[in-house]
A = this chain, B = another copy of it.
């Protein structure tokens, strides 16, 4: 156990893209666990596109991170000492512990993981919020039926790779939209997608028409902007548009670009629906059981992008998400 704890705190609220001076890199004394608490060392920190929204001071599905607070993040910690009956040194625990080296927790909102069954990164990805998001977004909000055509944007990301693979398991035809030939190759050659569209090459609307000539039954949107409009222009009758995120819009200094083609919802008798994965917490076990089984039998391949460093590398690692530099689940593993 060390005496100090390095933290990344929110120093100021960004306008547009997050900049280095929005963060404070702070060293504070490390707390000791009181009765009913455990202490742990952070091993792996999750980087999520939603983080950009969490640092804005406006009403959302979760309160904003306060100025001067440790940046909110899911992470996996290894218990180093414990005054809590359920946790012992050497246990691995996942929770919303924030961007810091050391953690003291009473265990609320946390749970022990089986580090032999899957890596800490997997508990933050395929078996974490991204996996749950893909599972419930696709199957519950998207109401996917066998034989349907699914399109997912941000397809090479943490959620997108899972959406596409779960859709394949469920008997769908799957088209991914991603940036660059390398990501597109990964989708079709390694993750089993039926087709991939490189949005950087342009012509997404025509490419969708070509790959989904009978229209899109489920469009799972992680990006918003022009790609959402291209998908809306290609909906099948009674399509479901799942609004998961809008990474293309998060760093805007101008208003969000609304979907100009939203009247397709009328013409195609379609619906567009948003959701927040936390609402499904009571059903996570169901999703975890399915996903674990699909990983075990090789039908789902976990795709993780591990950056190694210190908590001071958090800001630069987060920027990778918005530049599209990650493939699969992006995590920061502390050395």
Q: What chain B residues lie within 8 Å of A273 (beta carbons)?
A: 265, 270-272
Scan A131-152; emit 1 where CB is below 8 A from any B CB, else 0. 0000000000000000000000
Let me know if B267 and A61 touch, CB within 8 A. yes
Would you call A130 an interface residue if the criterion is a C-beta within 8 Å of the partner chain's C-beta atoms? no
Extra contacts besides A224-B263, A244-B266, A265-B274 (20): CB < 8 Å: A61-B266, A61-B269, A229-B258, A243-B262, A243-B266, A256-B261, A256-B262, A257-B258, A258-B258, A258-B260, A258-B262, A259-B262, A262-B272, A264-B274, A265-B272, A265-B273, A266-B274, A271-B271, A271-B273, A271-B274
Q: What chain B residues lie within 8 Å of A262 (beta carbons)?
A: 243, 256, 258-259, 262, 272
Let me know if A276 and B266 touch, CB within 8 A. yes
Q: What chain B residues lie within 8 Å of A236 (beta carbons)?
A: none
Query: Of B260, B267, B271, which one neighbours A257 at CB under 8 angstroms?
Result: B260
Would you call A268 an interface residue if the criterion is a C-beta within 8 Å of the partner chain's C-beta atoms? yes
With the chains together, A273 CA to B243 CA distance in Å? Answer: 13
Scan A32-49; emit 1 where CB is below 8 A from any B CB, else 0. 000000000000000000
A interface with B by C-beta (< 8 Å) = 59-61, 224, 229, 243-246, 249, 255-276, 279
A254 — nearest CB in chain B belongs to which residue? Answer: B260
A250 — nearest CB in chain B belongs to which residue? Answer: B263
Let me know if B243 and A59 touch, CB within 8 A. no
Closest Cβ–Cβ distance, residue A248 to chain B (whole Å)? 12
With the chains together, A272 CA to B264 CA distance in Å? Answer: 11
Query: Of B60, B255, B263, which one neighbours A243 at CB under 8 angstroms?
Result: B263
With the chains together, A275 CA to B256 CA distance in Å? Answer: 26
Which of A243, A257, A261, A276 neighbours the largest number of chain B CB atoms within 10 Å of its CB?
A243
A245 — nearest CB in chain B belongs to which residue? Answer: B266
With the chains together, A138 CA to B141 CA distance in Å? Answer: 21
Closest Cβ–Cβ distance, residue A237 to chain B (whole Å)? 10
Let me know if A265 and B279 touch, CB within 8 A. no
Given the contacts A272-B272, A273-B272, A60 and B258 also touching, CB distance less than 8 Å: no
A270 — nearest CB in chain B belongs to which residue? Answer: B274
Closest Cβ–Cβ distance, residue A239 to chain B (whole Å)? 10
Let me know if A272 and B275 touch, CB within 8 A. no
Let me know if A276 and B269 touch, CB within 8 A. yes
Closest Cβ–Cβ distance, residue A225 to chain B (whole Å)? 10
CB pairs A–B below 8 angstroms (29 shown): A61-B267, A229-B258, A243-B262, A243-B263, A243-B265, A243-B266, A244-B266, A245-B266, A256-B261, A256-B263, A257-B258, A258-B260, A259-B262, A262-B272, A264-B274, A265-B273, A265-B274, A266-B274, A266-B275, A267-B274, A267-B276, A268-B274, A269-B274, A269-B279, A270-B273, A271-B271, A271-B272, A271-B273, A272-B273
